[in-house]
Structure 1
Amino acid sequence: MTDTPHDSDTAPARASRLPSAERQAQILDAAVEEFAERGFAGARMAAVATRAGVTKGLLYHYFPGGKLDLFRSAIAGCVNPLLEEAHRLADGFTGSRRTLLESLIDLGYGRQEMEAREHILMKLLLTEADRFPELSELYRTAMLQPALDLARQVVEAGSAAGDFRPGAADEPGLAHVLLAPVLMGSVWRMMLGPDHAPSATAMRDAHLDLILRGLAP
């Protein structure tokens, strides 16, 4: 049987009484369980509906794009709070851009201790992106590009204020280099475990020393 939104499965009465936001959160929890067990390729919308206790029709009502919509929403639930926090920090900052950059990098290293859901979704992105270009594009647009844009904005403002050397934000690859150690630290923690991965504190100190020296006016 094909995995379509027209199956006549039924939902428990409790699902119909849930507010919309709680119901969607319930569905996303079920989706993460399904992705963790079966991977992106093996995950099925019908199985997610069963885990969540809803009809498949209701599942497609909230996520009409199917699995990719579910995965995108699960990623957004993990990534958006961090991006929003970073933008709040940047928008309300009154000190030097050097200090702001330090604070943003601290924020990134502070999130290396991932919750179970974040760990599952990041692992799927890393292991299945080569088979599913849509996952690679999702990573680029939802996670990487917003972080790169913010990094460039901070460096550009710092150059204008005299905190960083002129034109630094225009150098190709600079924003990627600013982010790469934070992202790699997260990957190492997933691969090696917290007991064997490099110290986040030591990486943070070395990272800041290198980039602040390199950006110095």
Structure 2
Amino acid sequence: MLPAGEPKFRRRPADRPAEILAAALEVFAERGFHSARLEEVAQRAGVSKGALYLYFETKADLFRAVVADAIVPNLERVHAMVSADVHFDQAVRIGLRMLAAKIISDRRITGVVKLVIAESRNHPELAAIWHETVVEPGIGLMSGLIAEAQKRGEVRAGDPRLFAFGIMGPMVLSMVWRETFEPVGAQPIDVVALAEQHLDTVLTGMRP
């Protein structure tokens, strides 16, 4: 048996990166990027600050890894589900329902979205990381689905990228609402109901 108080990272070295990223997601969501301290991340992960630096040289490197670990797998799951041979309407409903469920189930994700919006002017690297890792892949996935649906005659003529922005807009607004206005007493949004009602409206307008 290891001595009491031995650091977690020595007990389970293979788990070190996962524990650091989980702790960093919490700290970024709670503190924001500027106020987040690597010492607190290390403490929550049960590792020394020196061990943390073995994996991530800067706070921006850590943020990039957090986004890749916490957000990208959700995009990949959506991609796998909507890439099946299904009608466009069904594919979009599957994808948006999954996104709505994630917004509801994990407040840390919406906290990171708020972080990017609030701090990207002073830390443009955050916007660059989010754009490269989340925004472009997500819009690209949706635009591709729309372009293919247009070829099959399921969607009317129009710019696929602008259609994609129109579909995703309310989900982005719901995340901003939950993080900015609900904490000061605004009426909560039913994100799933929002997604369903929005899709009923926008998909009807996109049909030929």
TM-score bracket, normalised by the shorter chain, equals 0.7 to 0.9
**How many positions carry a matched residue from both structures?**
202
What residue in structure 1 maps to residue 166 of structure 2? Answer: 177
Contact 1:28 1:73 in 2 (8 A): yes
| Other-structure match for 2:54 | 61
Q: Does 1:164 align with 2:158?
A: no
Does residue 1:31 correspond to 2:24, yes or no? yes
CA apart distance, 1:37: 5.5
Q: Distance in 1 between matches of 2:45 and 2:190?
A: 38
- For residues 182 and 116 of structure 1, the distance between their equivalents in structure 2, rounded to whole angstroms, comes to 14
Tell me how far 1:107 sits from its aligned partner: 1.9
SS in structure 2 at match of 1:173: helix
Distance 1:164 1:33 in 2: 40
- The structure that is helix-richer by fraction is 2
Counterparts of 1:47 and 1:136 in 2: how far apart (Å)? Answer: 23
Q: Which residue in the other structure is 1:75 paired with? A: 67
* 8 A Cα contact 2:42 2:52, kept in partner: yes
Q: Percent identity?
A: 32
Tell me, yes or no, if the aligned pair for 1:156 and 1:167 is still in contact at 8 Å.
no
Q: CA separation in 2, counterparts of 1:110 and 1:120? A: 15
Give the distance between the partners of 1:205 and 1:52, measured in 2 at CA: 38
Aligned-pair Cα RMSD in Å: 2.5
Q: Please, which of 7, 17, 29 is the counterpart of residue 11 of structure 2?
A: 17
**How far, CA to CA, are the matches of 2:44 and 2:196 in structure 1?**
44
**Structure 2 regions of 5+ residues with no counterpart?**
none
Partner-residue secondary structure (3-state), 1:163: coil
Provide the secondary structure at the position in 1 that maps to 2:71: helix
Asked whether the equivalents of residues 97 and 158 of structure 1 are also in contact (C-alpha less than 8 Å), the reply is yes
Residues 120 and 206 of structure 1, relative CA distance in 2, 3 Å threshold: closer
The change in CA–CA distance for 1:32 and 1:86 in structure 2 (over 3 A counts) is closer
* Alpha-carbon distance in 1 for matches of 2:134, 2:71: 7
Question: Residues 136 and 99 from structure 1, CA distance in 2 versus in 1: closer, same or farther, beyond 3 angstroms?
Answer: same
> CA 1:14/1:179 → structure 2, altered by over 3 Å: closer, same or farther?
closer
